[in-house]
Amino acid sequence: MELRVLQYFLAVTREQSISGAAESLHLSQPTLSRQLKELEEELGRQLFIRGNRRITLTEEGMILRRRAEEILELVKKAEHEVSLSDETLAGDITIGAGETDGVRLLANAAQMIQKEYPLVHFHIISGDRVTVTEEMDRGLIDFGLLFGRIDPSKYESIQVPCKDRFGVLMRRDSPLAEKKAISPEDLRTQPLILSRQALQDASLQAVFGNDSEKLNIVATYNLLFNGSLMVDEGMGYAVCLDRIINVSGESSLCFRPFEPEVEAPLSLVWKKYQTLTKAAEKFLSKCQEWTA
């Protein structure tokens, strides 16, 4: 399978027509049609459903589109890294992170790197633990900022010198807002809004113990901003981390920590045995000063 043919395939998925893709690629329609037919024959699968007005993907076609995008992104990244001069520190550093105030530490390290090496560029991709680890395993991101236990057989890591605390985001006019801190018992019968990650890791059990399966979960969120909108509309109480949603000033929301306090340790993670670029090595060296 040639990279050129994958580019042709993605052009067709983007344009949803042979004619439109052929025009954007500066190819004749018969040439492009032949290349696609040969690709389907090579894979032994039908990739397209050819309609009168547009082309749609089969299930196999959707799988190939996702993988083709990843492959071409990796090739682009590799070409960029190889083309950099040995004398100049430059390049892109991509970090996957959930919503946490700990990103401030990464931004501080990035800012110090860019002062000395202005050709180094940083990219933060938001996502939960599952998304970040998958992207890291595929080589699409360099580092992940993750909560909780890290698998030492797969990843290297350093502890980030900050800990986020769990608590509850609620409306200021909620009955529980009168409390300075919230106990797990206060939420046993309340409508709860939880993050998708909380349903997948041990954070719920850390707060509620073995009763976590009996909770009244009315909604979930991936990004807390969306969760905060559900809270503001009166859907329930969001279990979340502190310092993500601004609740100061005239905000209609407030945050109350759990009592006893529940903290979430944070780690900067990268794939074991991964060959880092010079820019990524410099960034990691700066972050390792946290534990010096």
* 271 beta partners: 155
Residue 124 CA to residue 99 CA, distance in Å, equals: 11
Q: Residue 210 pLDDT more than 80?
A: no
Average pLDDT for residues 38-62, to the nearest whole number? 88
pLDDT (average), residues 72-95: 77
In whole angstroms, how far apart are CA 274 and each of 127, 137, 148, 269?
21, 10, 22, 11
Range with top average pLDDT, 67-76, 148-157, 225-234: 225-234
Beta bridge partners of 122: 93
Whole-angstrom distance, CA of residue 14 vs CA of residue 150: 38
pTM: 0.67
Whether the pLDDT of residue 85 is over 70: the answer is no
Q: pLDDT tens-digit profile of 89-120?
A: 888 999 999 888 899 999 999 999 999 999 99
pLDDT tens readout for residues 162-207: 878 889 999 999 999 999 999 999 998 999 999 877 766 666 677 7
